[in-house]
Structure 1
Amino acid sequence: MKRSPINEAQYARQDQECGGRIRCRLAHPCLVSGGNAIHSLVLSGGVALHALNIYIVTTVMPSIVRDIGGLDYYAWSTTLFVAASILGAALSARLLNRAGAGGAYAVGAIVFGLGSLTCAVAPSMALLLAGRAIQGFGGGLLYALAYGVIRMVFPAALWARAIGLISATWGTATLIGPAVGGVFAEYGAWRTAFWSLLPLTAVLAILALSTLPRTTSGTRGPLPLAQLTLLIAIVLVLSVSGTRTVIGEQIAGVGAALALFAVLVASERRATERLLPHGALSPRSPLAALYATIALAMIGMQPEIYVPYLLQELHGRSPLVAGYIAALMALGWTAGSMTSAHWDGGRARKTIAAGPFFGLVGLLTIAAFMPVISAGFAAIAVPLCLGIAAVGFGIGLAWPHIVTAVYAAAPAGEEEKAAASITTIQLFAASLGAALAGMTANLAGIGEGAAEGATSAAIWLFGLFALAPALGIVSARRAVGGSANRHMQNQEMH
């Protein structure tokens, strides 16, 4: 793996501090002591800020609507946030090259803070939506920058562990965010929820400027405007189609999104300035196989959005209990990352192919047990919870090593673009999966309001979406058998 010349001395010093011990754990002093500790804090802090905001706002949105109105635009709070996050992620590599790690992180934090401030003072839904879009752009920058900056501030031996730390941070936010948002909602203080993010944002910006590298690469070039426009258009079309109740409109929306995607691929192939690194769209490229594995993993997760509803409708669970059972998927992701983050060599490479297998088994388990209502919830609780956790565990198990493999497979000079593309693809695939999940649930009859419709939706949702990790097994095996595998082996030798 090519190392930046400006960090060669830092790499040598950190390698010496690690004493050549490649097999350190996620919480090994190599990652959380000395200069690495502050870097870990900044990187995980940016991800935590983005993740906490997502779950807090989801919880307080009903209070916001009751106060300032705008129920008809309720879903657009998420739609604009996700679209802007994808845009921020796509532009993060360019910002990193021009502003350096410290400057890029500070810009991301400041933009996020401006969005939070706008939401806090918003007198109407229109201004709140503008604030959410600004928040999303800043949050997308912070999330994507984490993957790019890891390469700059940590030696290669710690990349997988740092990625595992980011996963653990996201999983923790899954639990804390709704609880914090619930407190603000309980006291009718939704504006305070946004105000509370500002001090954290300021601290993050200051730490980033004072501790992260400021050196820039000076890379310049035109923006891939055509691809960015098409990407955002696809996300907006998918988001809108997911809110429609007429099945024909949903199918038309997904069809339009697929057509736009075909245009996007054609534009990307012809463009001189690309959104993705070279080889990302080549069927034989290991980089393309890795990106496909990431996309399929994210699509396979999306039926999770219906888990709370199905648990309440079919099994009579309370909203709180149903919500935390659904959160087992995110906790499984965290557990998987913490389990494998310290692995290396062939053991690490095997996780890339093993991860989708856990997802396949998990989704089929949910499809088998979620519709069973005659035996009572106690009879199915354990296998159902294990199935939900297994989906997340499989992704988490593979995630540190998929990201590391992307670093290794990236063409020389495009490492930052490859790292930023991880988040772009992750968010885009999640949007696509959510729209397809909504269409599948409606076609299966979930909107009929009866137990029969919910039962049918559970079978079709989790059974059909099991195809995603099944295809992921194929793409993962192609990825670990390609040149990315050889790059990783060479990296271990050196």
Structure 2
Amino acid sequence: MSTSQQTASWSELFSGKNGIRAVALCGGVVVHAINVYIVTTIMPSVVQDLGGLEYYAWNTTLFIAASILGSALSSSAIGRLGLRSSYLSAILIFILGSMGAAMTPSMTLLLVARTIQGLGGGLLLGLSFASVRMVFAPRFWPRTMALISSMWGVATLAGPAVGGIFAESGAWRLAFWSTVPVAVGVALLVNSQLKTKKEQRESRLVQTPILKIVLLTLSVLVLSFGSLTTSWPLMMLCLVVVVSIIYGIARDDLNGNNPLFPSGTYSLKQPLGSLYAGIGLMSIGVTSEVFIPYFLQHIHGIRPFAAGYMTALMSAGWTTGSILMSGRSRQFANKLLIISPLLSALCLAILGVLMPWQALSLHHHMTWVMFIPLFGVGLGVGMIWPHLSTRVFLSTQPGQENMASAAITTLQMYAMSIGAALAGMITTSAGFNTGTLAGAQRSASWLLLCFALMPIIFVCVSKAARQAGQPTEPPADA
């Protein structure tokens, strides 16, 4: 599977049972992704109604922190419940969270509901990635990973539209209700297409490292707490606590004590470590989209509906890049591992200059110029995403396949949660909580320019990732 000739075509993926199964796996991602864009679009309206501007970043942080817990448990869920029952359980949890968010009377209870939503969404994402290597032969992996990524493109159309319509009509609660019938439809599809527990038993049951998962989630909450303060000493203390937790988990994993992540994760000289670093750093870069609707509305006066769609350009770029580049050869993909992160970094830096510049919309009426870098940020991520994910499968030691595939989502969610918390720290320090135009402008500049460094760091540590998946290496069991 090291060349494009060995990669299955799109027609092969969509033919017969393969196509039905692919749609079933993608359904969970659709539910989660649409919800992400609905909430991103309606959050300014939610804050206006419920208050709690200081918890703006927490809404995303808690959602993703709970997603980490869900995605980390997905591998264990498959072994204990089977693929179908795991999916149905995840959808039920997600529906309960959506209903709670729709009925919440306060920002505090909304955060609780969003946490429940995140748990269900994390399970759905983890199950989708972990299922690829269980359901499809290796040559289908790049196309399937690209298809799963493209579901975020579906979300860019549906999410901002639903969220924008309800936000502008003052009925943001209905936006949460709208996700329920979609989730029910996915549940019906999963129930009819995925295998039962008896049929799906593939790997031995392993003890779930619950304590490590809880500590990983706790580290996100600690960093989020630090994002609420303007005290640099307290911020630094929170960072020290987070680093200490990560160090403790890594040290215990390296000692072989019921590891949370597979062998090779903690060394950038190993393909798996470099690949996971790429997944994490590129994910942090796009987390800036959490604040984009707020910046567009408060700096440039753009309406919620339009601001939501402009923000969605990042995911549209991600989807486009994944589809266009999923069938490329290993040699071409190695070039993408350098070019794509640099593209994302450049576009984030450009946004860091354009976003705070109010005259762009007020005097020049050229807000559309930001379409290009917004799309480019996601395009840079999407072009390498199928190759990063596929190379993780190929670089995993026998017996750790489910752990490695579930770790893709766990690390992605963790990186996004850390990114949201760091974004909260940066924007708070820049004056975001003042609610003024000057505070929003400073926040936009500092946030986007700082996050532009993340893809550049990946380029510096990508050597082992470019060596992953060589034809001479034995592939992981299919």
- TM-score tier after normalising by the smaller chain length: 0.7 to 0.9
Q: Which residue of 2 aligns with 1:234?
A: 219
Q: Which residue of 2 aligns with 1:211?
A: 193
Q: Which residue of 1 aligns with 2:26?
A: 44
1:185 and 1:459 mapped to 2: Cα distance? 26
2:251 and 2:127 mapped to 1: Cα distance? 27
2:134 and 2:274 mapped to 1: Cα distance? 25
CA displacement at 1:51 relative to structure 2? 1.4
Q: Which residue of 1 aligns with 2:422?
A: 436
Which structure 2 residues correspond to residues 465-484 of structure 1 after superposition, within 5 A?
465-481=451-467, 484=468
2:346 is equivalent to residue 361 of structure 1: yes
Give TM-score scaled by structure 1 length: 0.84
State whether residues 351 and 401 of structure 1, in contact with CA within 8 Å, keep that contact through their aligned partners in structure 2: no
2:265 is equivalent to residue 280 of structure 1: yes
Q: Closer, same or farther in 2 for the Cα pair 1:77/1:342, shift >3 Å?
A: same
Q: Closer, same or farther in 2 for the Cα pair 1:165/1:262, shift >3 Å?
A: same
2:95 is equivalent to residue 109 of structure 1: no
Q: Closer, same or farther in 2 for the Cα pair 1:371/1:197, shift >3 Å?
A: closer
Q: Which residue of 1 aligns with 2:209?
A: 224
1:181 and 1:97 mapped to 2: Cα distance? 36
State whether residues 325 and 385 of structure 1, in contact with CA within 8 Å, keep that contact through their aligned partners in structure 2: yes
Q: Which residue of 1 aligns with 2:146?
A: 164
State whether residues 446 and 453 of structure 1, in contact with CA within 8 Å, keep that contact through their aligned partners in structure 2: yes
Q: Secondary structure, in 3 states, of the residue corresponding to 2:461?
A: helix
Gaps of 5+ in 2: none
Q: Secondary structure, in 3 states, of the residue corresponding to 2:470?
A: helix
State whether residues 349 and 485 of structure 1, in contact with CA within 8 Å, keep that contact through their aligned partners in structure 2: no
The structure 2 residue matched to 1:404, chosen from 370, 378, 390, is 390
CA deviations 1:245-298 (Å, max 9, x no partner) are 555544443333233222332233335211101111133211000001111111
Match for 1:51: what amino acid? A
Q: Secondary structure, in 3 states, of the residue corresponding to 1:274?
A: coil
1:448 and 1:122 mapped to 2: Cα distance? 26
Q: Secondary structure, in 3 states, of the residue corresponding to 2:462?
A: helix
Match for 1:485: what amino acid? G
Which structure 2 residues correspond to residues 111-150 of structure 1 after superposition, within 5 A?
111-119=93-101, 129-150=111-132
2:67 is equivalent to residue 82 of structure 1: no
Which structure 2 residues correspond to residues 17-416 of structure 1 after superposition, within 5 A?
22=6, 28-60=10-42, 77-119=59-101, 129-185=111-167, 192-214=174-196, 215-217=200-202, 219-372=204-357, 378=364, 381=367, 384-416=370-402
CA displacement at 1:218 relative to structure 2? 5.4
Match for 1:486: what amino acid? Q
CA displacement at 1:165 relative to structure 2? 1.4
Match for 1:463: what amino acid? L
State whether residues 353 and 477 of structure 1, in contact with CA within 8 Å, keep that contact through their aligned partners in structure 2: no
Q: Which residue of 1 aligns with 2:413?
A: 427
2:122 and 2:251 mapped to 1: Cα distance? 25
Once the two structures are overlaid, the 10-residue window that deviates more, 301-310 or 229-238, is: 301-310
CA deviations 1:43-64 (Å, max 9, x no partner) are 1111011112223344556776
Q: Secondary structure, in 3 states, of the residue corresponding to 1:276?
A: coil
State whether residues 161 and 309 of structure 2, in contact with CA within 8 Å, keep that contact through their aligned partners in structure 1: no
Gaps of 5+ in 1: 2-19
State whether residues 369 and 380 of structure 1, in contact with CA within 8 Å, keep that contact through their aligned partners in structure 2: no
State whether residues 76 and 206 of structure 2, in contact with CA within 8 Å, keep that contact through their aligned partners in structure 1: no
> Which structure exhibits the higher relative contact order, with contacts defined as CA atoms closer than 8 Å and separated by 6 or more residues?
2
1:231 and 1:178 mapped to 2: Cα distance? 31
Match for 2:14: what amino acid? V
2:359 and 2:39 mapped to 1: Cα distance? 37
CA deviations 1:61-113 (Å, max 9, x no partner) are 67767888888877654443222111000111111222332232222223223
Match for 2:28: what amino acid? G
State whether residues 352 and 399 of structure 1, in contact with CA within 8 Å, keep that contact through their aligned partners in structure 2: no
Once the two structures are overlaid, the 10-residue window that deviates more, 399-408 or 77-86, is: 77-86
Q: Which residue of 1 aligns with 2:470?
A: 486
CA displacement at 1:485 relative to structure 2? 3.1
Q: Closer, same or farther in 2 for the Cα pair 1:434/1:151, shift >3 Å?
A: same
1:450 and 1:56 mapped to 2: Cα distance? 25
Once the two structures are overlaid, the 10-residue window that deviates more, 58-67 or 296-305, is: 58-67
Q: Secondary structure, in 3 states, of the residue corresponding to 2:82?
A: helix
1:297 and 1:39 mapped to 2: Cα distance? 28
CA displacement at 1:209 relative to structure 2? 3.3
Q: Closer, same or farther in 2 for the Cα pair 1:127/1:488, shift >3 Å?
A: farther
State whether residues 103 and 208 of structure 1, in contact with CA within 8 Å, keep that contact through their aligned partners in structure 2: no
State whether residues 393 and 401 of structure 2, in contact with CA within 8 Å, keep that contact through their aligned partners in structure 1: yes
Once the two structures are overlaid, the 10-residue window that deviates more, 127-136 or 372-381, is: 372-381
1:84 and 1:421 mapped to 2: Cα distance? 15
CA deviations 1:376-406 (Å, max 9, x no partner) are 6748656543222211111000001100001
Once the two structures are overlaid, the 10-residue window that deviates more, 449-458 or 252-261, is: 449-458
Match for 1:435: what amino acid? A
1:233 and 1:304 mapped to 2: Cα distance? 23
Aligned residue pair count:
471
Name the % identity.
40
- Tell me how large the CA RMSD over aligned residues is: 3.3
